[in-house]
Amino acid sequence: MHGDTILLMTFVLALVAAFAGGLVARALRLPPLVGYLLGGLAVGPFTPGFIGDSQAMNQLSEVGVMFMMFGTGLHFSLKDLAQVKGIAVPGAIIQIALGTLAGYGLAQAFGWSAQAGIMLGLSVSIASTVVLIKNLTDEGLYQTRGGRIATGWLIVEDLATVLILVVLPVVFGPGEVEPAQLAGQIGVALAKTAAFVLLMLVVGSKALPWLLDHIERSCPRELFQLAVVVVALGTAMLASAAFDLSVALGAFLAGVVVSGDKLSHRIAAEAIPFQDLFSIIFFASVGMMVNPAILAAHLPELLALVALIMVGKWLINMMLGMAFSAGVETSLTIASGLSQIGEFSFIIGQTGMALGILSADQYSLILGGAVVSIALNTFVFKIAGPAAHAIHSRPGLARFYERHAKAPEPVACDMCGHVVVVGYGSAGESVVDALTRLDVSCLVVERDLETAEAAQAAGAHILVGDAANSEVLRHAHLDQARVLAIAMSHEHSAEKIASEARAANPDIKIVTRADTAAGVAALVEAGADEVVRPELEGGIELLRHTLIDLGYRPKQISGCVERLRESGYEALGETSRTKRIQAFERMVSTMSDIDIQWASVGEGAAGKSLAQLDVRGRTGAQAVALRRAGSVQPYVDPAAPLQAGDVLGLMGTVEQTEAAEHLLA
């Protein structure tokens, strides 16, 4: 079979196998990444059936590496890192060092060479950002203090990986090198890296955003998409060709440079489909290199490696959490999230193979350890609760973790009949402002300290922390609260909050928001009494104003609005919100068909007053407002002369307002 045909078949079958594997992983509640790896394994050279061209797939996977690093750069945030730098920066550096030493020791026990041991240690020390964020999001922990520190921790690890990929080819390159010569080569490599970084920050930070802005304004969308791809891949190739650096570093810096542009969100949106597609190809190509027979033959080594990744790293991170006094829950979140290895471990392993340090069997062992740790990582989070309880039951041990940890701000113990508002964004601020004016006691739960202080300045009690963490909610006196208003936009976290609040106080009224009809149903199931869909309500108001401008009558508008709102809140059923809407509509319908209509004053009625025209006596309609020269007067003097072009607001039945409109015209 022709080589191009084999490549095409490999590409297509790898995608199909990855798709099938992703569906199976989702059904088993495993990360899709596991399914992509297993899909690649199914079409690899070590399993029966079609044998794909793994070498050609590896070349395509390089594009996946570039897009992954470009996406990492796009989401890189020095601001986020600065907020948690006290723990994330030293913690990540120490953990990389300890993880590398532990991996090196394990490799020596396996009988590997010293160089292979270093490669195993580096692979073990680097966790997967993709897996971390996925599991933090699923557990509602992404916005917690522990989630932010764990994310910042991996930002440092990502930066360290970039540096490792620069240094590895120099340190482990071909041939024997004297120490002085090695130091010189490392210096040259770092100088090239510094020059490229400087070029990107000084020239690229101006040229690339300008280019993308110009293309976005003057070219079709497909050219903008192509420009994003060219920026990502072109910068990566420039780093490799001109500076002899890794394509990963070039793509990462391209993402960092354009992340500060005003179009960064659109750039990310255009890059995500390519990033996702080629990332899947990357993981499938990695799976094609796994030899199940080797893993079975080295099962004791595989189990030992998995134990180091999941148990050893968990213990290392828990000890670091104790050393930095991060707090029990925060330390458990970090330790659970980092008890796995992933995409950067694959890249380091591939570099080791390319340098001739790792054999195919050794690389397969690293891959096997990664797949098992990714598959089981979600279950590590399940033991965080019992582990926290066990630590808190030993006050002496808990004090080591809580020495300098930020505890939730104390709330007045006598709070009763208050409203708990979760989130002090624009919606939460509006709620608190109105309730404060009505002298209703408010407690704001906000994870950002500066935002919480703004709520306190507005007159509300504050509780600093993430409400999705039940430990924080315990300090909100929900058992004494009247209403819980969840103003945050994260539906999954809102579900957890609603469920915890309903368990704490079965009688509390819970009001929250959702983005979709499915979100409404999920929140109602979690215990919410009333759910608001902001985008739907905005659409309803747009519809209302549009119909008013088109001249439709209030009763017709009311009917359209009612039908739209009922369809959008179908999951609420016969809740109090639906009943109030229906009661209001019934009240309107019983007002003897009273309608309000705006009517223009024509030339024939100009100069005459309402009294002279006897509008009310002749038609039965009552003039209740006057619009003249762009301003509206809520009272109409019956003796004042009307002017041509005046618009009168008339109240009455349809027949009465139509008769008055004809009279005034």
Average pLDDT in the 3-16 region? 73
Reference 147, options 391, 405, 338; nearest CA is 338
The CA distances from residue 122 to 63, 157, 429, in Å, are 23, 11, 47
Q: Determine which of 144-148, 174-178, 181-185, 308-312 has the lowest per-residue pLDDT on average.
A: 174-178
pLDDT tier at 50, thresholds 50, 70, 90: low
Place of tokens 């090198």: 177
148 pLDDT more than 60:
yes
Average pLDDT in the 555-584 region? 66
Percent with pLDDT over 90 in the chain: 14
pLDDT digits (tens, 9 = 90+) for 310-338: 999 999 999 999 998 888 888 999 999 99
pLDDT digits (tens, 9 = 90+) for 221-240: 888 888 888 888 888 888 88
pLDDT tier at 576, thresholds 50, 70, 90: very low
Amino acid at 415: M
Q: Which helix (H) or strand (E) holds 7?
A: helix 3-27
Q: Which residue has the higher pLDDT, 261 or 371?
A: 371
Average pLDDT in the 469-479 region? 73
Q: What is the DSSP string of 183-194?
A: HHHHHHHHHHHH
pLDDT tier at 101, thresholds 50, 70, 90: very high
CB atoms within 10 A of CB 506: 9
494 pLDDT more than 60:
yes
- Per the CB < 8 A criterion, the answer to whether 143 and 468 are in contact is yes
Q: How far apart are CA 268 and CA 70, in angstroms?
A: 9
Q: Which residue has the higher pLDDT, 575 or 319?
A: 319
77 pLDDT more than 70:
no
pLDDT digits (tens, 9 = 90+) for 423-471: 888 888 889 998 988 888 899 888 776 677 788 888 888 877 677 765 6
| Mean pLDDT score of the chain | 81
Q: Which residue has the higher pLDDT, 360 or 53?
A: 360
- The winner for highest mean pLDDT among 143-147, 243-247, 375-379, 572-576 is 375-379
Average pLDDT in the 147-176 region? 80
Question: Which residues, other chains included, contact 601 with Cβ-Cβ below 8 Å and sequence gap of 6+?
Answer: 642, 643, 644, 645, 646, 647, 648, 664, 665
Question: Which residues, other chains included, contact 140 with Cβ-Cβ below 8 Å and sequence gap of 6+?
Answer: 468, 490, 492, 493, 496
Place of tokens 């939730």: 408
32 pLDDT more than 50:
yes
- Per the CB < 8 A criterion, the answer to whether 34 and 55 are in contact is no
Q: What is the pLDDT of residue 551?
A: 79
Torsion, Cα of 253, 33, 514, 536 (10° steps): 70
Q: How far apart are CA 44 and CA 285, in angstroms?
A: 8
Q: How far apart are CA 267 and CA 213, in angstroms?
A: 10
| Size of the chain, expressed as the number of residues it contains | 665
Average pLDDT in the 567-581 region? 60
406 pLDDT more than 60:
no
Question: Which residues, other chains included, contact 116 with Cβ-Cβ below 8 Å and sequence gap of 6+?
Answer: 107, 352, 357, 358, 359, 362
- Per the CB < 8 A criterion, the answer to whether 284 and 57 are in contact is yes
Q: Determine which of 4-8, 256-260, 618-622, 639-643 has the lowest per-residue pLDDT on average.
A: 4-8
Q: Which residue has the higher pLDDT, 23 or 665?
A: 23
Q: What is the pLDDT of residue 471?
A: 60
Q: What is the pLDDT of residue 591?
A: 46
